[in-house]
Amino acid sequence: MRDLVDGTAFNNEQGNRARKLFAAVVLAALDDAIADDKKYGNGPDQIARWARSRDGREVLSCAGIDPTERVVTGLMNFVSNGVRTSVALSREESERRHAAEALEEAARAA
Q: What is the pLDDT of residues 28-59, one digit of tens each?
A: 999 999 999 999 999 999 999 999 999 999 99
Classify residue 110: in a domain, yes or no.
no
Range of the domain at 71: 2-83
Number of domains in the chain: 1
Classify residue 93: in a domain, yes or no.
no
Classify residue 79: in a domain, yes or no.
yes
Rounded distance, CA 52 to CA 7, Å? 35
Classify residue 71: in a domain, yes or no.
yes
pTM here?
A: 0.77
Percent of the chain with pLDDT over 70: 95
Between 7 and 101, the higher pLDDT residue: 101
Task: Tell me the per-residue pLDDT of 77-88, one tens digit each, with 9 for 90 and over.
Answer: 999 999 888 887
Rounded distance, CA 63 to CA 31, Å? 16
